[in-house]
Amino acid sequence: MLDVKEAKLALRDTDPEIFALIEEEERYQQDSIRLIPSENYVSRAVLEASGSVLTNKYSEGYPGKRYYEGQLYIDQLETLVQDRAKALFGVEHANVQPYSGSPANLATYYALLEPGDKIMGMSLPHGGHLTHGWNVNFSARFYTAVQYVVDEETHLIDYDNVRDLAKSERPRIIVAGATAYPRQFDFATLGEIAREVDAYFLADIAHIAGLIVAGVHPDPAPHADVITTTTHKTLRGPRGAMILCKEEHAKAIDRAVFPALQGGPHNHTTAAIGVALKEAATDEFRAYGEQIVRNAKALAAELLERGFTLVSGGTDNHLVLIDLTDKGVTGKKAARALDRAGIVTNYNTIPYDPRKPFSPSGVRIGTPSVTSRGMGEDEMRRIAAWMDEVVASPEDEDVSKRVAAQVKDLCDGFPAPGLPAS
């Protein structure tokens, strides 16, 4: 077996161009403050599983029902990961083969719906996801989509309005989940609404899976027919996905993933998911999830103190959505200036945004990555101060360079998990 150093040398000797780009990205991840809420650092153990010899295997089918021989260890591996997922999330069935979150949602619709059936999900500009019925996505092309929105004043979900919309539209499935909603979901109420209109209830917990495991966000398992999640973000695993469901839906879900929508599973990713699930079933991970929320609240409080406008006025989870309208700068300009200063964010629409999606009014930030590095509330306040400086002078290169140097000094004191020591 090659050790990490030998493996890197093999890559360098075989393909120095790819090697150099990976080295640069590694430095970038070490030296920058990564505030994109969908990004994180995985452990060295997760990286090792991701790059293992399991990438050599082809394993169409499921444990005990494969279309290839030579699956003795793969069957044991996938069964182990399924069992870990079921235990961690308290569900009856787990499919760990989806390649990512969007295919997981597509598989759920394929399993439960017929073409043209009605999907009711959260509007993308109000914090939802493309696959929840937004008009440029497959979910709106192959199904009839209706969207619920947040309140114009509070920017919170009005569950009475959701109930009224569901009763008038009679969707076949109601979807909960978001990419830019900084508050908790009331899964119990959404489950009640779904039952009232004889609809399935899908909880897409891609962003908040780790928070649910840590006990700092309500759990959808008692209320949802199906749960989908990515395995990175707050769960701190590889880029993959899972579908968790009641036993009554297991056969339809499995058939939707394979053979309907995918070929062979990515066994190296399955193994890495298993490692991440084992790590998540620890007291240390629970403490990590709790710190993510404390950090997000501290970051939000400091930004508010410095005159920033936050969508919904703050956060309950890992995510903060900033409305830069009062600052006189667009989200894109601010995000690019922050990146030059070593603070990585993404520009994002805000609810009722008058600007176009490619140049919106907002910036989206989150705390999973910085929390993985061991940063706490004091560091969040320093980060907010730097953001204030940069956003106030987005074209000032001297400010960007000075802040970038200070950012690197901070990062040097908090080594990134999984990355080699500098």
Q: Which parts of 174-324 fold into alpha helices (H)?
A: 187-196, 209-213, 250-255, 267-280, 283-305
In tens, the pLDDT along 25-67 reads 999 999 999 999 999 999 999 999 999 999 999 999 999 999 9
The chain-wide mean pLDDT, for the chain, equals 97
| Three-state DSSP state, 37 | coil
DSSP strand pairing (241-245 vs 309-310): unpaired
By the 8 A CB rule, do 276 and 231 touch? Answer: yes
Mean pLDDT throughout 81-90?
98
Q: What is the pLDDT of residue 95?
A: 98
Backbone angles phi, psi at 36, to 5 degrees: -70, 120
In tens, the pLDDT along 294-335 reads 999 999 999 999 999 999 999 999 999 999 999 999 999 999
Separation between Cα atoms, residue 337 and residue 35, nearest integer Å: 14
Residues with Cβ < 8 Å from 122, sequence gap 6 or more? 128, 129, 132, 147, 148, 149, 157, 175, 176, 177, 178, 181
Model-wide pTM > 0.85: yes
In tens, the pLDDT along 105-140 reads 999 999 999 999 999 999 999 999 999 999 999 999
Separation between Cα atoms, residue 353 and residue 123, nearest integer Å: 12
CATH architecture of 291-412: Alpha-Beta Complex (3.90)
pLDDT > 90? residue 359: yes
Residues with Cβ < 8 Å from 367, sequence gap 6 or more? 35, 37, 292, 295, 296, 299, 318, 380
Q: 53-280 maps to which CATH number?
A: 3.40.640.10
Tokens of 375: 């940063």
In tens, the pLDDT along 203-260 reads 999 999 999 999 999 999 999 999 999 999 999 999 999 999 999 999 999 999 999 9
Q: Is the preceding omega at residue 415 within 30 degrees of 0, hence cis?
A: no
What is the location of CATH 3.90.1150.10 in the chain?
A: 291-412
Question: Hunting for tokens 């696959």 — which residue is that?
Answer: 131
Percent of the chain past pLDDT 70, that is, above it, reads 99
Percent of the chain past pLDDT 90, that is, above it, reads 97
pLDDT > 90? residue 3: no
Helices 267-280 and 283-305 cross at an angle (nearest 10°) of: 80
Separation between Cα atoms, residue 313 and residue 182, nearest integer Å: 9
Q: What is the pLDDT of residue 6?
A: 79
pLDDT > 90? residue 281: yes
Alpha carbon separation from 83 to 54, 171, 266, 274, 393 (Å, rounded):
19, 32, 18, 9, 52
Separation between Cα atoms, residue 78 and residue 270, nearest integer Å: 7
| Three-state DSSP state, 241 | strand
Residues with Cβ < 8 Å from 417, sequence gap 6 or more? 41, 42, 43, 44, 372, 373
Tokens of 15: 């393909």
pLDDT > 60? residue 1: no
Q: What is the pLDDT of residue 2?
A: 58
* HSE-up (13 A, CA, CB side) for residue 372: 30
3-state helix, strand, coil in the chain (%, to 5): 50, 15, 35
What is the location of CATH 3.40.640.10 in the chain?
A: 53-280
- Residues noted as catalytic: 58, 60, 204, 230, 233, 239
